Amino acid sequence: MNALTALSPLDGRYASKCDALRPYLSEFGLIHARVTVEVRWLQALANRPEITEVPAFSAATNTALDAIVTQFSEDDANRIKEIERTTNHDVKAVEYFLKEKIAHIDELKNAGEFIHFACTSEDINNLSHALMLKNGREVLVVAMQQIVDSIVALAETHAEQPMLSRTHGQTASPTTLGKEMANVAYRLARQIKQFKQVELLRKINGAVRNYNAHYSAYPEINWPAHSQAFVESLGLTFNPYTTQSNHTITSRNCSMLYVVLTQF
């Protein structure tokens, strides 16, 4: 793509500044996150002894599934886009892709239909969007911390360097350059803390949040507890009460992260 024809300056003038975020906040990042959620959900189901149709996976099979996530490539993403041209459904394309990927694994031949089991697309999407935000935030926090560390170093170096201070538009009692740098470092450190504390509240509970399909198939499982454990295993916070959609939470997360970031 020519930078001059980019729809956004993030892919144009500032493209080089965003390279570290591309693996997570691009469409590739979204597709990868969906693959991650679907694979981890299948593994979580296999860990339930009540689901006899999907016995616990061997170490070798789990390693193969992990590799689908950790070795996900642009070729894989392009294959999913190719499937989507037939399905006209982005999440369903991920499901079909995974069925292709596990078809050669003997232990998983009967597990294909449990990919996306009892899920609605929003279950996958709201978790995927949260993983994108989580991973993107981790990249930004590293850069933010480097800035704070640099300012702290300046504060220490110039701790005794006198500096004229002002109040009410006129000169006042002196301060030091180091102390003023420390002011900035402390404020920015607090912003990092708040940035990291923005809660990514997520769910996986079916079409209308009542675990209807879940309990219909396996009534003996405590599905809210299982879902909570799964969401938390992804490094996210479980939201026990939702409708089908979690869009308002996602938009709120984006807004809160943006507000904190703009104050940095």
CATH of the domain at 255: 1.20.200.10
Q: What are phi and psi of 170, to 5 degrees?
A: -140, 165
pLDDT for 252 equals 84
- Domain final position from 78, 102, 117: 117
User: Would residue 227 count as lying in a domain?
Assistant: no
Query: Quick one: pLDDT at residue 77?
Result: 98
Q: What is the pLDDT of residues 135-163, one digit of tens each?
A: 999 999 999 999 999 999 999 999 999 99
- Predicted pLDDT at 251: 84
In this structure, is residue 209 part of a structural domain?
no
Whole-number pLDDT of residue 126? 96
Q: Does residue 257 share a domain with residue 168? A: yes
Q: Cα(83)–Cα(29) distance, rounded to whole angstroms?
A: 17
Q: What percent of the chain has pLDDT over 70?
A: 98
Is 56 within the bounds of a domain?
yes
Residues 134 and 159 in one domain: yes
Q: What pLDDT score was predicted for residue 93?
A: 99
* pLDDT of 2 strictly over 90: no
My answer on whether 125 and 108 are in the same domain is no
User: Average pLDDT, stretch 2-11?
Assistant: 86
Give the model's confidence band at 3: pLDDT under 50 very low, under 70 low, under 90 confident, else very high. confident
- Of 64-78, 152-166, 210-224, 233-247, minimum mean pLDDT range: 233-247
Domain assignment present for residue 71? The answer is: yes
* Shared-domain flag, residues 45 and 144: no
**Domain range spanning residue 130?**
121-203+243-264
Does any domain span residue 179? yes
Q: pLDDT tens digits, residue range 32-66?
A: 999 999 999 999 999 999 999 999 999 999 999 99
Q: List, for residues 226-252, the tens digit of each pLDDT value.
A: 999 999 999 999 999 987 677 677 888
Please tell me the predicted confidence (pLDDT) of residue 245: 72
Q: What pLDDT was estimated at residue 208?
A: 87
Closest CA to 45 of 36, 54, 37, 58: 54
Half-sphere CA count of 86, side-chain side, radius 13 A: 9
Which of 58, 36, 38, 37 lies closest to 47 in space, CA to CA?
58
Query: Mind listing the pLDDT tens digit for each residue in 92-132?
Result: 999 999 999 999 999 998 899 999 999 999 999 999 999 99
> CA-CA distance, 228 to 205, in Å (whole number)?
10
Residues 28 and 108 in one domain: yes
Let me know: does 54 contact 45? Beta carbons within 8 Å. yes
Average pLDDT (69-74) is: 99
Domain edge (last residue) among 117, 147, 167:
117
Q: Determine how β-strand 237-238 pairs with β-strand 201-202.
A: parallel
Shared-domain flag, residues 47 and 82: yes
Average pLDDT score, the chain: 95
197 within domain boundaries: yes
Q: In total, how many domains does the chain have?
A: 2
